[in-house]
Amino acid sequence: MAPDAPGPPSAEEMLAAFPVAKLNKLEELISNPRWVIPVLPGAELEVLLDAATALAREGLDRRSEPCQRFYREGLLVREDLRSCKGRIVYRGGVPQISKPETARDLSAPRRSPSPRS
């Protein structure tokens, strides 16, 4: 007889699986005076966004203190970053930020210009 396939993770398993080590690293990067926030696949920000999204889909994000901490401290654009200009940072020949913009511009949704009549 074949063993039963594992079911979906329980709420407790999902809450315990939140990547706290990645959150701690992201907070360390943000608090560094010469901050660099990696936005590459698999980096802290992407992993934390995926984990927070998975918890939110199940309605568990409010029960997770680390997830709430990520919302408060990891996603909040701090006042000192609002006027900070981006710069091109190349790692392995790939630009991480392609042009200077303010942090507010980076977080604002892009809209196409409306046609004028």
Residue 115 within any structural domain of the chain? no
- Do 26 and 61 lie in a common domain? yes
The per-residue pLDDT for 68 is 95
pLDDT tens digit sequence for 65-81: 999 999 988 887 555 55
- Do 17 and 70 lie in a common domain? yes
- Do 91 and 57 lie in a common domain? no
Angle among Cα 70, 75, 80 to the nearest 5 degrees reads 120
Alpha carbons 26 and 48: distance in angstroms, whole number: 9
What percent of the chain shows pLDDT beyond 70?
62
Structural domain harbouring 89: 82-106
Alpha carbons 74 and 25: distance in angstroms, whole number: 10
Please give the residue that has the higher pLDDT: either 86 or 18. Answer: 18
Please give the residue that has the higher pLDDT: either 27 or 5. Answer: 27
Over 90: is that where the pLDDT of 117 sits? no
Q: How many domains does the chain have?
A: 2
- Do 51 and 102 lie in a common domain? no
The per-residue pLDDT for 29 is 86
The per-residue pLDDT for 37 is 74
Over 60: is that where the pLDDT of 56 sits? yes
Over 90: is that where the pLDDT of 102 sits? no
Please give the residue that has the higher pLDDT: either 96 or 40. Answer: 40
Please give the residue that has the higher pLDDT: either 77 or 5. Answer: 5
